[in-house]
Amino acid sequence: MTEHSRLRSLIYPFKVIAFPFRTFREIASNLDSLKILPGFLLVIVLQLMTSLSIAYLRASKIFLDSETNSVSLLTTDFLGTNILPILLQGLLTLLLNWLTYGVLLLLIVRVFSQKRLPANPSLIAIGYVFSVLVVSGVATTLLISLLPEIHFDAAVWSSGPAEDIAKVYEAVWGPTLILQVLNYFGLAFIFWLVILGAIVVNIAHEIKLTTAIMISFVAYFSSALITAFLSA
């Protein structure tokens, strides 16, 4: 039965997106670290996969021009040498965001609720709100696939200043509607994540939804300031 519960948790990341209230009630009723951990680990794996897909598609849009030819960035060793850093950065960023947001959320909840739940499974349950980032990654991947090709001088790409590379990005991709949509998508997915966090607080800690939304907003933006400071 325990093994069945662990396997069932693997569908939670998908159910959280479609049926958040029902799914978080189910998670709250089975608040055991070992039972719900596999689903959260799946969230991490899926998020790393979307990070790689974004990097791959972005590279497929970049071409390096020389006097004799133009080659795709994919034909170079760019991805091969950057896969591990991309994965490590994605993993560390996700874990840092989860820990700072989750810990702050649970600390603030203590002010508003007398209900005390075990910390470790509660933190893992909060981790399921980051399923939103997987959806965001898939949407970002699809939008990047629609961006136009972008050409760099091979010499500038390999040894030019970062400012010159940034100017090319801004000139080619900056005016596109797709990039504007991506910027708005970022805000929309942050709002979605915060609302899912509020649903966790509402269900698991029996705090009314309006108060839970306020708590989640404060916790998220406080954690954003902390992670920005730590990453600087």
Both tokens assigned to 131: 């399923």
Read off the pLDDT of residues 188-229 as tens digits, 9 standing for 90 and up.
999 999 999 999 999 999 999 999 999 999 999 999 999 988
Give exposure, 184-219, as e/b (b: 16+ Cβ within 10 Å): eeeeebbebbbbbbbbbbbbbbebeeebbbebbbeb
C-alpha angle 169-170-175 in degrees, rounded to nearest 5: 120
**pLDDT for res 230:** 82
Both tokens assigned to 49: 């996969």
Both tokens assigned to 167: 């100017």
Q: Identify the helix (H) or strand (E) that includes residue 70.
A: strand 70-72
Do residues 185 and 139 touch, judged by C-beta distance below 8 A? Answer: yes
**pLDDT for res 223:** 95
**pLDDT for res 1:** 41
Rg over alpha carbons for the chain, rounded to the nearest Å, is 21
Q: Which residues of the chain have pLDDT under 50?
A: 1
